[in-house]
Structure 1
Amino acid sequence: MRLPGQLVSSKGQAASKGATRKLLIVDDHPMMREGLVQLIGHEPGLAVCGEAGSCQDALEAVRKLKPDLVLADISLPDKSGLELIKDIQAVYPDLAVLVISMHEESLHAERVLRAGGRGYIMKQEGGKKILEAIHRVLDGHIYLSEGLSVRILEGLSGRPSAAGQSPVERFSDREFEVFQLIGEGKGTRAIAERLHLSIKTVETHRTKIKIKLEIEDAAELARYAVLWVETQKAG
């Protein structure tokens, strides 16, 4: 966890108290954090108050620094970003979390909102879009891409999306986490330890996943999950 000693405004001067909105960056890739620090550091009214590379460090930084916004990746080494959002909301329900991730928005954004997050933006977006998302969330709004916003509204109105829904999208948040870990080559015991669940509970999730995917055996599930994870990385 990195705690900068001084907030720096876009002109390089110490930000006066109350004039700057404080952001905490949570990402396990130092280069990504550095890029966001540079981007935010040149935006008037914004400053990075700290950085964290894990959920544990992020929660400690939130407690110490009291940021106005947490900008977090969804893939972290100790817990998922979804779990981080839930942990933050349990203690700091008014603290906004904006997820910035390389993973496909259509599969993750709605889960982020259900967990209590205030928005989702892809890392592939340009700096202007990222800053727009930050300001929108800080102003009390939810930020999603236009395409996903339309899709969610269609779902609320009862109109089916033209693209349909993949089996993976029908997973519960916990099933989705288990599925991802299967795709990363982790066995039942390792998944149980990672998610702090019993082996029996993980097995139950695996069974539900197979039913939703219409898959009969564990080997086929593993192949499907690995292929899906690799496809996400490539995309």
Structure 2
Amino acid sequence: MIRIVLVDDHTMVREALRTVLEQDKDMRVVGEAGNGEDALRLADQLAPDIVVMDVALPGQSGIETTRRLLAMHPEIKVLALSTYLDRRIIQQMLDVGARGYIVKSAAGSELKQGILSLMGGCSYLCPQVTALVTDSLRSRHTQAMDPDENPLSRRELQVATLLAEGKTAPRIAEQLHISPSTVDVHRRNLMRKLQLHNVVELTKYAIRTGLILP
């Protein structure tokens, strides 16, 4: 049974999320909070597996609440929920330790999938966030830059973009008309050049660089 705490300052939103989640027999909402302080108290009392965290909370923000919660309970997985599709906010939530980010407009269809991904040890970004990240990465590297500032080759940039879109090596190989082993070579090379270790770090990199003005 996956134990979940919902944190949102709107009662109707919490009720709607509870209804969606409890249709799954393996998910149980064990607590609800309308602000950050109550969320921290419930985390202490209930030891949930997942906290679904609204970013825009009254008083202490969801970003600060997530930072404090994970400092005390690093084993808890935080899935951010927001009306805002903003690179800076997404980056801040990822930086303080959130493992996923879903926009509220997609919560009905994406929430369960996000929770299952986090419980499986993966991160999760809804398609709207993934698209934003991909656009940021593409924008950054299509600018005219000094070669020392842009270490990726054209093919590596293509692979990086498709990885950020969530595509697997076989699908990337099919789209680029190369072998899966060649995709793996490009992936290793671009990760080494950017000093990254996984796709989550690549996602963070894409968001950060998308904020840099030409």
Q: TM-score range by the shorter chain?
A: 0.5 to 0.7
CA drift of 1:152 comes to 4.7
**Structure 2 counterpart of 1:123:** 104
Question: Secondary structure in 1 aligned to 2:5?
Answer: strand
Q: Which amino acid aligns with 1:76?
A: L
Query: Does 2:8 align with 1:41?
Result: no
Calculate the TM-score normalised by the size of structure 2: 0.61
Structure 2 Cα separation of the partners of residues 151 and 26 of structure 1: 25
Q: Which amino acid aligns with 1:121?
A: I
Gaps of 5+ in 2: 144-211
Q: 2:85–2:129: 8 Å Cα contact kept in structure 1?
A: no
Gaps of 5+ in 1: 1-19, 164-211, 213-235
Q: 1:105–1:122: 8 Å Cα contact kept in structure 2?
A: no
CA drift of 1:105 comes to 4.3
1:100 to 78, 81, 87: 81
Q: 2:102–2:129: 8 Å Cα contact kept in structure 1?
A: no
Distance 1:161 1:63, change over 3 A: farther
Query: Does 2:31 align with 1:50?
Result: yes
Structure 2 Cα separation of the partners of residues 155 and 106 of structure 1: 9
Structure 1 Cα separation of the partners of residues 52 and 121 of structure 2: 15
Question: Secondary structure in 1 aligned to 2:70?
Answer: helix
Q: 2:18–2:29: 8 Å Cα contact kept in structure 1?
A: yes
Identity in percent: 31
**Structure 1 counterpart of 2:5:** 24
CA drift of 1:88 comes to 0.8
Question: Secondary structure in 1 aligned to 2:58?
Answer: coil
The runs of at least 4 aligned residues of structure 1 exceeding 6 Å deviation read 153-156
